[in-house]
Amino acid sequence: MPALRLNSLSKEYKIGDLLVVKIEKIVPRGFGLAFAENLTVFVPLSVPGDQLRVQLTQIKKHTAFAEITGIIEPGPTRIEAPCPYFGTCGGCDFQQMSYATQLETKVAMLRDCLVRIGKIEFDREIPMIPSPEPFQYRSRARWHVDRNARKIGYFIRQRSRPLAVMMGKFRSIRQICRSRPRR
């Protein structure tokens, strides 16, 4: 009798395949973590509890990356991101979730890294100091300049070219985040 291959996929996945997944938690770099038949799926811009239709964009053995093609049922803490550039700009990973969830997620990621990487069981509270302004703040900004296109801004998500943010009209990052893009 042949040996069982427990780690093999009964379905061959390929780039472009559509899946329905439920996001379990958020991991470093802002990816939502989901599972689909021995496949770990990382989904940017998701929220814990989201049930999503996703399209696979990259596959490496039992790990895949996917983009959201539709929200079947939003997680309970999903909100509309306040920044008009969210999703296009690569500057923020958490604006789609309530501020309380953002803080809880950051503490959970830190705790997970302590256990998984540092092998440290830390059962005490990890205090989080919230910002007085939950949105429209940054502790730093890294602008990129495309001299040929004469654009300045953050990199477009997962691209190496800047997103123009109409700097001439704004004096601060706060003003940019409060603006609405022209369509």
Higher-pLDDT residue of 116, 177: 116
Q: Which pLDDT belongs to residue 118?
A: 93
Q: Which pLDDT belongs to residue 79?
A: 95
CA–CA–CA angle 146, 148, 153 (5° rounding): 20
- CA–CA distance from 56 to each of 32, 72, 73 (Å)? 14, 17, 19
Q: Which pLDDT belongs to residue 2?
A: 39
Q: Say which residue the tokens 């998500």 belong to.
A: 157
Distance between CA atoms of 131 and 12, rounded to whole angstroms? Answer: 45
Question: For 34-48, what is the mean pLDDT?
Answer: 94
Residue 176 has pLDDT above 60, yes or no: no
